[in-house]
Structure 1
């Protein structure tokens, strides 16, 4: 087999392969021989069909199949011979497929970039440091109270935190518009779920009131309404006063605490907050590590890998949007940067795993399975299902291995602890 390779770009290679005719013909003959022992043809007993007859009937079909197989096999042999690592499958261009002549074809493909890791020891990381204080727990308990309000009808004027139930119909230049009408619509004044001018117009209303509220839609509102002036005819149906629950055993039971009351609830809340704080700190460190790794190691990226990642992101976005057919898949342009980042990191992390010989920690994989299973009533059954799912195990192993790489990099980076607070860390980037 003769092989020649030409570089046609930073990563693209054009390889021409010439396979002796004897190898192709031998493969064709062997396949026809096997077929003669299994093929069924009218007038012949099973396994007794002469090879000559099989060749007459199936020769061209078998030859085409063999040519495809030989090109795939010899391509794999050729890249090993030339010490090349393809980033994706090749585009095959036949040059000569004539019977009796050598098989010749051209394979065009990209190779993985050569990576020489740099800058690991000079990575700089600011690791936030904080504790969950009693004031933080107080604030979280108050948030839990906010999630469980009760309402009672009042005859007074509406103020902040009251709930007002209204009918309304909006018009622009005297004409109704889509989405501008509703009946028995509840609005919590001050919650910010409606336009500020609309909420402001409801302060001071009482049940039975009718009034017009005029406002201008913001410029960043939905396109058909942005910047336009509207008038809403509002009929107030009722005003309700909000009341938050008392901090007692009944409140604790609302959040699954059957024994121990508020003190037990506070302990569980603090435990959850500490876990969330740890995950947030870990995420901040990870982002800095990966950003620094990318900055220190710019690499050429195989277009095929980027395109495949873009497609995966498109499909994932379409699935989350509830798309029903291919026409609803978002365009690729919006995913290029994310795809390039993911591909670059996967190549760099893969190189670290290879050069540092990092092996997946099965104890960590098991611990993660157990954490997931703990969320289910039958933990044993859930754990068994996780363990017996090969695809899920591979995903979990990949996640654990990535975390091990981050730990490996963090141990070698220049890490500075930065005093902070729970609130600052949890609100970072929000």
Structure 2
């Protein structure tokens, strides 16, 4: 039996559930008899263990199962009878005061909110667009060349030249020994032998790089170095050390020529440079399209949050916070980080979780009200689009269609795109052109 629903807050509700103690005892005895059919104990054949011994061994567990089943069933029945959309899981606590011969429990829970979405035709959204020019293709080729750089001893003649005067310059790879001291005392991490880095990449502090410039192999130099106040090494942060460096090896960087061999290294079988540039352009356009879509989706989501009114269930925020914390832990572990004893308080993820839950409720309302569900045709088209960048597109299709969870991820993505298209079609949209570099450096997330 369940009492009438009590309203404790905007979303919080409470139901008291009670049932006769005899119902529990009857069900427990019934399950104990079933358990006794296969129970084992020393000195007894299977199924011949006395019921009292079975009760002593399994009674607590079975009683807990019976209570959970009865309370859960009674709560679900009460929620259905009262047409309640329960958000998350109820908090069920046994009542100390109950009628004689009865057990009673208070189930406190939240319900899903009403979502009021304002006038979308009055919403103003700034969308972005970007183009891929020949300059972007040239920049990409330069990056690809740098990724394939190889080094030669500076000053020694070779098939690519000698690299010029054998003194350390920006772009050279240097290998040094160094030792640092503060007030004449060496400090942990301030000494190394055979340490290699490329001048100009910013891996070392500016004073260190400046002191290395102009050195020849075998030369040494002593110089002061001031560590920043926010330096990661707390023992030396904000202090000035005296460093001595000795240049042991000097190499100059040779970038591959943009020729047929370079094109072949990028997968262009016949080495055609025009085809190489076209392939790079297509890949850049695909990347740009994805970034533009992500930026515009984020703009739509921001607009929906502003125009929609709703209370967000704390239960759902808590559950999503815990989910985000666990996802972060797993991600860091997969990256090789030892996070076994690192705390991941769910509270740290509450703000992000609140936004995710809020948007989920808004999107659900929009989809239901406007029939924006993902169609099988849209899902297939999205997967085929993903598959274009893979060597065997058929394997990509098989990968998604063989797993319902993976397919569900694509359906959710298409559903979001349907919402974005719907909102952009109603709202007041202005388009802003953004530079390629700005777009590619953005942190917009899908």
Counterpart Cα distance in 2 of 1:343 and 1:140: 39
Separation (CA, whole Å) in 2 of partners of 1:27 and 1:330:
42
Q: Compare 14-23 and 206-215 and name the one that shifted more.
A: 14-23
Structure 2, gaps ≥5 residues long: 156-165
1:397 aligned to 2:411?
yes
Separation in 2, partners of 1:353, 1:82: 25
Determine if contact 2:176/2:245 at 8 Å carries over to the other structure: yes
1:293 aligned onto 2:293: no
Aligned to 1:15: 15
Q: CA deviation at 1:55?
A: 9.8
Q: Structure 1 143/48 Cα, relative in aligned 2: closer, same or farther at 3 Å?
A: closer
1:242 Cα deviation after fit: 1.8
Q: 273-282 vs 185-194, which deviates more?
A: 185-194
Equivalent pairs counted in the alignment come to: 429
Give RMSD over aligned pairs: 3.5
- Return the match for 2:373 from 349, 352, 359: 359
Question: CA–CA distance in 2 between the matches of 1:48 and 1:172?
Answer: 81
**Structure 1's 94 and 217: CA in aligned 2 closer, same or farther, altered over 3 A?**
same
CA contact (8 A) 1:128 1:425 kept: no
Q: Secondary structure at the match of 1:383?
A: helix
Residue 58 and residue 246 in structure 1: after superposition, are their counterparts in 2 closer, same or farther (change >3 A)? closer
In the alignment, structure 1 segments of 5+ residues that lack a partner are none
Q: Confirm or deny: 8 A CA contact 1:123 1:289 kept in the other structure.
A: no
Q: CA deviation at 1:98?
A: 8.3
Aligned to 1:106: 106
1:170 corresponds, among 177, 180, 184, to 180
TM norm structure 2: 0.84
How far 1:52 sits from its partner (Å)? 13
Counterpart CA distance in 2 for 1:421 and 1:64 is 63
Cα deviation digits, residues 240-279 of structure 1 (max 9, x gap)? 2222211100111121211242111100110011111111
Distance change (3 Å), C-alpha of 1:119 and 1:209:
farther
CA contact 1:119–1:293 (8 Å) conserved in 2 = no
Which residue does the alignment assign to 2:5? 5
Query: What corresponds to 1:276 in structure 2?
Result: 287
- CA deviation string 1:110-153 (max 9, x = no partner): 22222112242232222222321112211211221222222222
Corresponding residue for 1:224?
235
User: 1:97 and 1:192, CA in 2 relative to 1: closer, same or farther beyond 3 A?
Assistant: same
Quote the residue 2:136 is aligned against.
136
C-alpha spacing 1:141/1:354, structure 2 compared with 1 (3 Å) = same
Q: What TM-score do the two structures reach when normalised by structure 1?
A: 0.87
Structure 1 residues 368 and 25: CA distance shift in structure 2, 3 A: same
Matches within 5 A, 1:107-126: 107-126=107-126
